[in-house]
Structure 1
C-alpha cells in the first residue's frame, strides 16, 4: 500500500479535477441506475397499492422480478465484452426508457417484464460504471475518490423518497414519469464524461485499492506483491470460500424485506403521519455515511468480524421496526439498516481477494449470486406472510434472525479452532 501511495502523481493526491469529475460522474450514474432505476419502486409502492392497480402480493412479485433481473444481469457481466464507457451510456439510456415505461402502462405482466429488465440494466450499469471509474481513478492515482462513487445510490434514494413525499398526491404514474425525466436530465449532464479509458499499467490495479464495492465486477485484482503474500503466508482454503458465499447471501434476504416494504409497513403503523415518507430518505442518508466511512476503516481488521458487526447492525434495525413501531423506532431502524449496506459489499469483496488474490473474480461472482438469491426470496416470503397474518412482523423477525445467525456463522468461520488458513495477524493481502 505504501509503495503504491509513494508513486501517486502529486496533482492527483491534491484532488485533481479529472479525478473529481470521474468520481462525481460515476456517482450520478449509480444514482440513476440504482437510486432511480432500481430503488424508486420502494417509495412508489404505497401509491401503486393505493391506486387499486396492485395488491401487496403482486407488489412482492414485482420486487422479486427486479431482484431476479439484477441477479441475472450480474452473472451476465462476466460474459459481456463491451467497452465500459459504451455500456454505461447504454445503461443510462435504457434506465430512462424503462422508468418511463412504468408510468405509461398499468398491466401487471408488462410491469413485471419492465422491472426484470430494469434490474438487469442496473446491474450492468453498476458493474461497468465501477470498472470505468475505478480504472480512471487508478490511472490518476486517486483511489481515495472511490468512496464518492458509491454514495450515488444513497443520493438517488434520498431524492426519490423526498420527491414522493412532496408530490405523492399526484399518484404513481406521475412519479414514474417524473423519475424518468429526472434520469434523462442527469444522464445528459454526465454523458460526455464516459469515453474509453485506455488500458495501461494503472489498469492492472484498478480494483486493488478501491474498497471492492463492486460485487460482481469480473476484473478485481490485487498487486503482484499481495498475490504472493496471499499464497505464501495465508493459503486459501476451499471451506472458507464456501462459507463466504453462503453467508454473504444472508444479508440479501435480511435487508430486502424492509428495503422493499418500509413505506408500506410505516404507513400501516403510523396512519395519517407524515413521517413514513421520510424513513426511506433516512436509509439513503445512512447509506452515504456508510459508504464514505467504511472505506476509511483500517484494512488490517478482519473482514469476517466486520461483516458480522454489519449483520448485527442490520438485524437491530429490522427488529426496531417491530418492537418500537414509532417514528423514532422506524427512523433509527432505517439508519441502522442503511449504514452498513455498502460496507457489507466492501468487506465481502475484500475477503474474496484475501482468499483468491488475482483469481477472486469467480468467488466474487458466486457470492454476488448468493446475495441475489437472498433478495429474490425475501419479498416472495414476506408478501404471503403479510397477507396471511395481516402484518409483516413475522417476516421481519425471520429476517432479523437470519442476520444474527449469519453473524454467528461468520464468527465461527473466523475463529474456529484448527482452521487451516487462520491468519496470524492482519490480512496482508488487503493492503495492496
Structure 2
C-alpha cells in the first residue's frame, strides 16, 4: 500500500470518527431516545449544545499542543475516547450524565478533527497531492452514511442502547484504521517568513457570517431525522434522509473548493449560504418525500463546503497569522453551534418545527449581506 493511500485511509477514518459519528451519530439515535426515555425537545437541544461546547474547548486545546509527540498522543487518545463515549451513552438514562458524556465526546471529537487535519493536509501537500484534501474531509459524509444506515438499523432492532453500542463499535474500527494510517505522519515544518498579500476582506465580518452558519447548520444537523419522522407519511424515510445527507456531504468539500477557485471565496460562500437557507426553509414547509430529500441534499451538499471555504478564506485574509484567524473563526462558529439547538428546541416547543427551521433559514441568510459588504479594500484579486 502506498503512503498516499495509507494517509487517505487514516485521514478519512479520522473525519468519520470526529464528526460523522462523534457528533452526528446522535441525529438518528435521538428519536429512539425520545421514544425510550421520554427525552423532550429542549433536553435534546441541551445535549447538542453540550457536545458543541466540548468541541469549542477541544479546538482550543488542540491549538495549545506544541510538540509533534504531544499531537500524536492526544490524537490517538482522543480516537479511543470518542469510541468509548458513544458506547457509554448506552450505560445510563440520567440526562446529566448524558450531557457530561456528550461534552467529553465533543472535546475528543475536536482534537481528532483538528489534529488529524494538521497531520493529513500538510502531508498530502508534501506528496504533491493537495488536490486530494477533499477525500480526507469526505470521511464526515462516510460517518453520516453509517449513522443513517447501520446504526439506525441497529436502533430499529434493539433500541437506542443497541444503536449507541453499534456506534461505539464502528467508531472503534475506524479509530484503529486512522491510528494505523497516520502513525508515522508528522506535521509540517516551520513556516516560511514570506506571505502572500492579505485578501481584501474583514475577518470580523467573515467570523460573523460563520457564526450565522454555525448557529443555523446545527439545527438541521441535530433535528433533521426527528423532523422528517414527525411529518405524517414520511416516517419510513427519516433515516434514509440522513443517508442522503452523508452521500451529498462526501464530495462537497472538493466540489466547493473547485467552485471557490473559479469564482472566489466570497461569491462561493454567498451561494452556499443561499442553498443551505433554501434547504432549511424547504424542510420547514414540505410534507413530501421529494421535498425532504431535496432538503437533505441541500444541507449535506453545503455545510462542509461552508466550513472548508471559511477556514481557507480566513487564512487568505490573515496569511501571516493563520492560527489566529482560524481560532477566531472556530470560536464564532462554536458559539453559534451552542446557541442553535437550544433556540430551535425552544421555538419547536412553542410553535412546532416550522418556526425553528425558518429561524435557521433566516439566520443563514443573515450571513449573506455580511459576505457581500465585508470588503475592506478595492484592491484587485479574487476574494
Q: Identify the TM-score tier after normalising by the shorter chain.
A: over 0.9
1:135, CA displacement in angstroms? 2.5
Aligned to 1:343: 305
**Is 1:400 matched up with 2:367?**
no
Aligned to 1:410: 371
Aligned to 1:187: 175
Unaligned residue ranges in structure 2 (runs of 5+): none
Question: How do residues 135-150 of structure 1 correspond to structure 2 at under 5 angstroms?
Answer: 135-150=122-137
Aligned to 1:422: 378
Aligned to 2:162: 174
Q: Which one is further off, 16-25 or 280-289?
A: 16-25
**Is 1:26 matched up with 2:11?**
yes
* Selected match of 2:211 from 246, 249, 253: 249
- Which digits, 9 at most, give the CA deviation of each residue in 1:220-264, with x for residues without a partner? x7x666x1x405xx6x67xx1211111111111111111111111
Indicate conservation of the 8 Å contact 2:151/2:166, yes or no.
no
| TM-score, normalised with respect to structure 1 | 0.83
1:425, CA displacement in angstroms? 3.1
1:354, CA displacement in angstroms? 2.0
Aligned to 1:108: 95
Indicate conservation of the 8 Å contact 1:20/1:145, yes or no.
no
Aligned to 1:364: 326
**Is 1:326 matched up with 2:313?**
no
Indicate conservation of the 8 Å contact 2:280/2:360, yes or no.
yes
Separation of aligned partners in 1, 2:317 and 2:14: 31
* Selected match of 1:230 from 177, 197, 201: 197
1:70, CA displacement in angstroms? 0.7
Which structure features the higher share of helix residues? 2
How many residue pairs get aligned? The number is 380
Indicate conservation of the 8 Å contact 1:270/1:276, yes or no.
no
Distance 1:366 1:154, change over 3 A: same
Aligned to 1:215: none
Give the RMSD, CA atoms, in angstroms: 2.0
Larger radius of gyration: 1
Indicate conservation of the 8 Å contact 2:29/2:152, yes or no.
no
1:24, CA displacement in angstroms? 1.8
SS in 1 for 2:16: helix
Indicate conservation of the 8 Å contact 2:6/2:182, yes or no.
no
